[in-house]
Amino acid sequence: MATAIYLEHYLDSIENLPCELQRNFTLMRELDNRAEEKKCEIDKLAEEYIKNVRNLAPDQRVEHLQKIQNGFTKCKEYSDDKVQLAMQTYEMVDKHIRRLDADLARFENELKEKLDVSGYESPDSRTAKKAGARGGLKEKRRTKGRGRKSSDDDSPRKKKTKNSPEFSESILPVHPSDVLDMPVDPNEPTYCLCHQVSYGEMIGCDNPDCPIEWFHFACVDLTTKPKGKWFCPRCTQDRKKK
């Protein structure tokens, strides 16, 4: 019954996920198309500039180069929007994965508590107890056969009491893990000053040689995407030193 409830709630939560993913992927495809169209315009402007550069006045050259620069700026905006959309899509799927992990852990805990209350014993535990009981009977028979006056009768090797570690270990039941362990994929790349995986809104450093590249908004004290170029704290310090 509990399994059905968990499953029903989870299926309800992901009911709209396929539509949301399809919408995000469609938007990413549109951004790709816009970026490609803009790159074609830039190529045409560059060819036209190279062809007529000798016949252009200085003001016309500056105007033509400004058009090319504006095209690159617009193309970069499309690329940034696509990256942000891809990160939102990843976070959307990852949120449902985390919820599934949490539901599995809660379900296992509830199942374990019910088994403990009902006194249920696993087959492994029963086997261990039977083995311990047979060992204890054999030992008692050996002790009786050797007589009470033997000097070795009270030796720990000949008697096993209930409090001895050897006896206790032979009947200990095997318990399942308290919480289902779902580790993060070790191959998933980490970013930012906190060295964590990508989540939420992130911003890229405009320094092409930045060793970290991507940063979480909260880690660099940002709430919205800044206008113009943005450099991370480490690259900003390096630029000041230069």
Extract the runs of DSSP E, i.e. beta strands, from the chain.
202-204, 214-216
- Residue corresponding to tokens 């050259």: 61
Please give the single-letter amino acid code of residue 183.
P
- Measure the CA–CA gap between 213 and 202, rounded to whole angstroms: 10
* Cα dihedral sign, 18-23-27-30: positive
The residues with which 135 forms a beta bridge, in sequence order, are none
Establish whether 9 is an annotated binding residue: no
* Cα dihedral sign, 85-88-90-92: negative
Tokens representing 38 are 């803009």
CB 178 within 8 A of CB 97: no
Establish whether 210 is an annotated binding residue: yes
- Measure the CA–CA gap between 56 and 51, rounded to whole angstroms: 10
Establish whether 75 is an annotated binding residue: no
Cα angle for residues 106, 109, 113 (degrees, 5° grid): 140
Establish whether 19 is an annotated binding residue: no
Please give the single-letter amino acid code of residue 20.
E
Establish whether 216 is an annotated binding residue: yes
Establish whether 205 is an annotated binding residue: yes
Binding residues: 192, 194, 205, 210, 216, 219, 232, 235
Binding residues for Zn(2+): 192, 194, 205, 210, 216, 219, 232, 235
